[in-house]
Chain A
Amino acid sequence: MSLLERVDAIIDRHGAEPSALIQVLLELQGELHWLPREALARVGERLVVPQSRIQRIATFYKAFSLVPKGRHEIHVCMGTACHVRGAGRVLDKVKELTGIAPGETDLELKFSLETVNCLGCCALGPVMEIDGKTHGKLGAEGAATVLESYE
C-alpha cells in the first residue's frame, strides 16, 4: 500500500472533517512513526484544513514528529523518584547501547530516545517505557537486558 493510500485509509476511518484532524494525525504518527510532508499535504486537502494550521498543531504537541522516528520509542523517566533511585545510570546505559542522546534517532531507525519527567508509576522507579510498555525497577544491567529484547 502506498503512503497516500495509507493516509486515505486513515482519513476514511475518521471521516474527512476538519474536526478529525488531531485523531488523523495521531493515527498517522502511530503507523508511520512520523508525519511526512506528502502525508500532511494530503490530510490538508481532504480535511480542508490549511497547511499553516496543520503545521501549528504538528509542532505544538510532543506526540507528533516532523522527522522520522525509530521503530521503538524509548522514554526514560527522570522524575524525582526515578532520579534518586538511579535513573541517571539507566539513561547512561541506554545512551551507550543505542549510541543516541535524548531527542535523537539512530541511523537504522531502530530506537528513538526521549527523557520524560514522570510516567506516573513512581513505586516502580527507575522506569523506562518502550512503545508504551513499562519496564520498572531497572538498573543499568536491567536496562541492557530490556533493550536486547527489541528487534
Chain B
Amino acid sequence: MSEIQLEIDGRAVRVEEGTTILAAARKLGIAIPTLCDHDGLEPYGACRLCIVEVDSGGPASRRSRVAASCVAPAEAGAVVRTRTEKLDRFRRTLLELELARAPDSPRLQELAREHGARRDHFDGDASFCIHCGLCVRYCAEVKQLHAVGFIDRGIRKEISFLPEIAGRECEACKECFPLCPTSYLQAAYVLMRSFVVPSRMK
C-alpha cells in the first residue's frame, strides 16, 4: 500500500491509502466530534457530527465539499478543514436534531454546550435513540450474536432485542451498554427482559 499526503487544518500528514480522514486527523492529534464512531467497528456514517470541509481534485477540477470524515477516505493533495463557521453551523443543527430525540443524554449535552446547540430548538416526541447503531453493530461485528437489531424505517425506526437470543446471551455480556450515547439501549433491554422473564424482574 502506498502512502499519500494531505493537509488537515494547515498541517501536513502522511497516511496509508484508504485511511479515513477521521483517522488521519487523529494521527495529528486533531479531535473531531463523533457519536457513532468506534475503533473496533466498520465506519458507519450515521451521526454526521464528524463532518469536515474537503478541497480535492486536480487543478482543473478542484472543488470543495462537506464530507463525513469517518467514511471519507483521505485523498492525496486534499486540503481538509475541521472547524469552520459553516461546519459549526451544520454541527449545531445536527446536535439540535439529535437533542430533540434524546434531550437528556449527557454526551449530547456536553457536545451541545461546546457548539452552542439548544435542546429545545426542534420539538417532537423524544424517542431516546439517535440511531447511531453502536449496539447493533457491536453485537453483530464484534460479538457476532445479533441479539439486537433495527426494525421498521423512517421515523418509526427503532432498536429491538431478539428475545430468543437476548434472553440467552445478554445477561452475561452487556458490553454494548456503555457504548450507548443516550442510555436508551439499557431501557430497551430492561423492557425486553420484563416481557421474557417477568418473574425475575425486581
Contact = CB atoms under 8 A, between A and B. Distances in A.
Interface in A85-122: none
Contacts of A53: 146, 149
B170 to A, nearest CB: 13
Interface in B103-151: 136, 139-140, 146-151
B162 interface: yes
Interface in B148-163: 148-153, 160, 162
A53 B162 CA distance: 11
B147 A52 contact: yes
B41 to A, nearest CB: 16
Nearest to B158: A59
**Number of chain B interface residues as a range:** 10 to 19
B80 to A, nearest CB: 34
Which interface residue of B136, B140, B146, B160 has the most chain A CB atoms within 10 A?
B146
B196 interface: no
Interface string A49-88: 0111101100110000000000000000000000000000
Contacts, number: 32
Given A59-B151, A59-B152, A60-B153, A52 B164 contact: no
Contacts of A50: 140, 146, 149
B151 A51 contact: no
A53 B152 CA distance: 11
B165 interface: yes
Nearest to B144: A50
Nearest to B148: A52
B165 A59 contact: no
A51 B162 contact: yes
A13 to B, nearest CB: 26
A52 B165 CA distance: 10
A50 B148 CA distance: 10
Interface string A30-65: 000000000000000000001111011001100000
Contacts of B140: 50, 52
A52 B140 CA distance: 9
Interface string B162-186: 1011000000000000000000000
Given A50-B149, A51-B146, A53-B146, 9 more contacts: A51-B164, A52-B136, A52-B140, A52-B165, A55-B149, A55-B162, A56-B150, A59-B151, A60-B153
Interface of A: 50-53, 55-56, 59-60
Q: What are the 5 tightest A-B residue pairs by CB atom distance, in nearest-first order?
A: A52-B149, A50-B146, A52-B146, A59-B151, A60-B153
14 contacts: A50-B146, A50-B149, A51-B146, A51-B165, A52-B136, A52-B146, A52-B147, A52-B165, A53-B149, A55-B149, A56-B149, A56-B151, A59-B151, A59-B153
